[in-house]
Amino acid sequence: MGDNKNFLESLFRSLQANDVIERRKCRATGKVRFNTKSEARLFIQWMKWKYKKWLKTPERRKRSHTKGGGKPEQRYEYTCEHCGGYHVTKESPHRYHKMKEKYQKKYFG
């Protein structure tokens, strides 16, 4: 497990997300569009890694912030039906489908 962690650490240190991942905007939703599911997952992991590194900075430690403030909440990726790409979200797929069904019942019968 330690070797895997060191590998990811060196990988994230060596790359800039903008260089590796081509991001564009979806015209229908206005969200960031990723070409593949793996790009979206890599971006989620990269954001978490960046946040952990930010927490360790001296400026962050000097100030008293609320616990977890600024923490990236995006954990899931999904296929966009409008652009055919992938987006990241904090909403779990189960909760999304549950809310969608509730919406459909309320407004469409």
**Total domains in the fold of the chain:** 1
Residue 47 lies in a domain: yes
Helix or strand run (H / E) with residue 47: helix 37-55
Mean pLDDT value of segment 43-50 = 83
- State pTM to two decimals: 0.65
Residue 7 lies in a domain: no
* pLDDT recorded at residue 23: 67
Domain residues for the domain of 96 are 14-57+73-108
Residue 3 lies in a domain: no
Q: Tokens at residue 89, please?
A: 């979200």
- The alpha carbon dihedral of 5, 9, 11, 17 has a sign of positive
Is residue 102 over pLDDT 90?
yes
Residue 6 lies in a domain: no
